[in-house]
Structure 1
Amino acid sequence: MIKVGDELPDVTLQEYSEVEGNGCSIGPNPVKVREAAKGKTIALFAVPGAFTPTCSAKHVPSYLQNYDELKKAGVDEVWCVSVNDAHVMGAWARDQKSGGKVRMLADGSADFAKATGLTLDLTGRGMGVRMQRSSMLVKDGKVASVNVEAPGKFEVSDGATMLAQARG
C-alpha cells in the first residue's frame, strides 16, 4: 500500500472539462498523474463510486465546504479519484457543483487504485474492483500523509481531516 514518502503512481487518469453551454463537456482528457502533481500541493481523496450515498452526501461536500480554507493552507488543487468512467465523473461533478474546485478524475481501469494498493473488491455487490475510501496530502508528487478508512467507515478521509493535515 502507498505510504508517506512514496511518489504517486505513473498512471493516466481521465477528466472531463466544462465548457460554455448547458451541461456540455469536452473530453475525456488524459491527466498524467505524476506530471499533473509536479510542483503542487494536492488534497487527493478517493471514493468507491460516484453517485453512491456516502460519497455524494458526505465525502465530496466535505471538501467543497473546506475548499477555501484548504487553499489558504497552501493546497493548490483538490482531486477526487474514483473507479468510474470519465463520463460518469463529469456528470457527478455537475451534480455536486464541484466545478472549479474539485477535479473529478476517472480511474476507469483501476490502474491508480491497483498501483497504490488501495483496491476494494466489491464484486459480490455487483460493483467490481473499486478504490478504498481514502485521502492523501501530496506535495510535489510525493505522499505527505495518507488516510485509509476502515470498511464501511467515513472518519479519517474527510475534508476537515485533510485541512488539519494541510495546516500541519
Structure 2
Amino acid sequence: MIEVGQQVPDATLQEFFEAESGGCSPGPNSFSVSELVKGRKIVVFGLPGAFTPTCSGSHLPGFVNQYEKLLAAGVDEIWCHSVNDAFVMRAWGREQKTEGKVRMMADGVAQWARAMGLEQDLIHRGLGVRAKRYAIVLENGVVTHLFVEEPGKFEVSSADTILEALRS
C-alpha cells in the first residue's frame, strides 16, 4: 500500500464533460495522474462505489460541503476516485451537485486503485474489485497525509479529518 512520503503512481483516470471545456471534448476524457498532480495540492478521497449508502449519504457530500474550507486551507483541487466508469461518475456527480467543487475521477478497471495498493475485492458482494475507502493529501504528487478505513467503516477519511490534518 502507498505510504506517506511516496510519489503516487501514474495511471489514466477519466472524467466526463457535459460540454467542450478547456480543450476537453463532451463525454469521457482521459487524464494522466502524473500530469494532473504536478505543482498542485490535491485532496483525493476514494470510495467503494457511486450511489452506495455511505458514499452518497456522507463521504462525497462532506467534501462538497467543505469545499470552501478546503480551498482556504491551501487545497487546489478535490477529487473523488471510484472504480466506476465515467458515465456513472458524471450521473452521480450531477445528483450530488459536485460541479466546480469535486472532480469525479473514474478508474473503470481499478488501474490506479491497484497501483496504490488501495483496492479491495468485493466480488462476494457482486461489486467486483473496488477502491478502499480512503483520503489522501498530495503535494506535487507526494503523499503528505493518508487515511485508510477498515472494511465497512467510515471513521478516518472524512472531509473534516482532512481539514483537521491540514490545519495541524
Return the TM-score normalized by structure 1.
Answer: 0.95
- Aligned CA RMSD, in angstroms, stands at 1.2
In the alignment, is residue 63 of structure 1 matched against residue 63 of structure 2?
yes
Question: How far, CA to CA, are the matches of 1:50 and 1:26 in structure 2?
Answer: 21
Where does residue 138 of structure 2 map in the other structure?
138
3-state SS, counterpart of residue 54 of structure 1: helix
2:6 corresponds in structure 1 to 6
8 Å contact from structure 1 (residues 137, 165) kept in 2: no
| Alignment partner, residue 74 of structure 2 | 74
Q: Report how far residue 80 of structure 1 moved.
A: 0.4
Instruction: Report the Cα distance in structure 2 between the residues aligned to 1:165 and 1:40, rounded to whole angstroms.
Output: 17
Cα distance, 1:99 vs. partner? 0.5
Runs of 4+ in 1 over 3 A off after TM superposition: none
Give the residue type in structure 1 aligned to 2:84.
N
CA distance in 2, matches of 1:53, 1:121: 18
The letter of the residue matching 1:58 is S
Partner of 2:108: 108
Distance 1:108 1:140 in 2: 24
1:62 corresponds to which letter in structure 2? G
Task: Give the AA of the match of 1:26.
Answer: P
Q: CA deviation at 1:31?
A: 1.4
Equivalent-residue separation in structure 1 for 2:27 and 2:12 (angstroms): 14
After TM superposition, give the deviation of residue 167 of structure 1 in Å: 2.0
Distance in 1 (CA, whole Å) between partners of 2:31 and 2:162 is 23
TM-score by length of structure 2 reads 0.95
- Alignment match, 1:46: 46
- Cα distance, 1:101 vs. partner? 0.3
TM superposition shift of 1:18: 3.1
Q: How far apart are the structure 2 equivalents of 1:165 and 1:32? A: 27
**Contact 1:78–1:103 (Cα < 8 Å) also in 2:** yes
Which secondary structure state, in structure 1, belongs to the residue aligned with residue 70 of structure 2? helix
Distance (Å, rounded) in 2 between the aligned partners of 1:160 and 1:18: 30
Unaligned runs of 5+ in 1: none
Corresponding residue SS for 2:137: strand
1:94 is aligned to 94
| C-alpha distance in 2 between matches for 1:124 and 1:70 | 36
**Aligned 1:27-42 pairs, distance under 5 A:** 27-42=27-42
* Number of corresponding residues: 164
Q: Secondary structure at the match of 1:46?
A: strand
